[in-house]
Amino acid sequence: MDILLKGIGLGLFLSIAVGPIVFAILKVSMKLGHKAGYAFIAGVSLSDVLLVLVGNLAAELLSSVLQYKNWIAAGGALILIIMGTYSLLFGKDPKDDSPNDLNISFRQRDMLRFSLQGFFMNLINPGPIFFWLSTCTAFAFLPLRERTLLFAACLVTVLATDILKVFFAGRIRLLLTPRTLHKIHQLSALILIGFGVAIFGGLIISILQ
């Protein structure tokens, strides 16, 4: 249960972290309709799965070669804390800077195109790449079964919240005022720091036991 809660927590964090992908989801959904939005997030979700698989494979290879799982996990936790601290102190509040080339006429046969747009936009975005690789490294000390449960819960949570973003696209966009964006930006940074600290705490407890 603890692993599932951690996975859901990670998924919720990634969902409230406002960035270009969120604005792109809202833009596609409002301009092209819900079907286009669902196709777009399907591609985003697929790229998340790919990044999780690559991140866990890289972490597993490092762990098996170096045999320093605790140090690797500590390094990943430190990166999360640094990311959160930098974002809190120096990061700029996000703006609606999603690409304009998504404003195209909607046709049924374009569903694959929307999915590919979501896939590649998320895949070339440094934010998700760095987040997933850092998180996979931070949780490399967990057994494979627990890691699978954690990231499965995380991915399902992210997909579920993305579906809600598409469904409530118009209302969500109205809520994204500069003041709200600033608060979400700060909250996201604090959550990231919290996860890093929690991982450090778990490592210390496991070493002392």
Give the pLDDT score at 156. Answer: 94
Given a contact cutoff of 8 angstroms between Cβ atoms, the answer to whether 153 and 4 are in contact is: yes
Per-residue pLDDT reduced to its tens digit, 30-42: 777 788 889 999 9
Mean pLDDT, the chain, integer:
76
pLDDT of 17 > 90? The answer is no
pLDDT of 158 > 70? The answer is yes
Average pLDDT over residues 15-27: 71
Average pLDDT over residues 55-80: 69
**Number of independent structural domains in the chain:** 1
pTM of the model: 0.67
pLDDT of 159 > 90? The answer is yes
Give the pLDDT score at 209. Answer: 65
pLDDT-above-70 percentage for the chain: 72
Average pLDDT over residues 135-158: 87
Per-residue pLDDT reduced to its tens digit, 104-146: 455 666 788 889 888 987 877 667 777 788 788 778 778 888 8
| CB burial readout 174-199, b (16+ within 10 A) else e | eebeeeebeebbeebbebbbebbeeb
Distance CA 81, CA 191 (A): 9
Phi-psi region of 99 (alpha: psi -120 to 50; beta: other; left: phi over 0): beta
Give the pLDDT score at 34. Answer: 83
Give the pLDDT score at 94. Answer: 54
Structural domain range at position 19: 2-208
Give the pLDDT score at 18. Answer: 54
Distance CA 75, CA 161 (A): 29
**Helix count and strand count (H, E) for the chain:** 9, 0
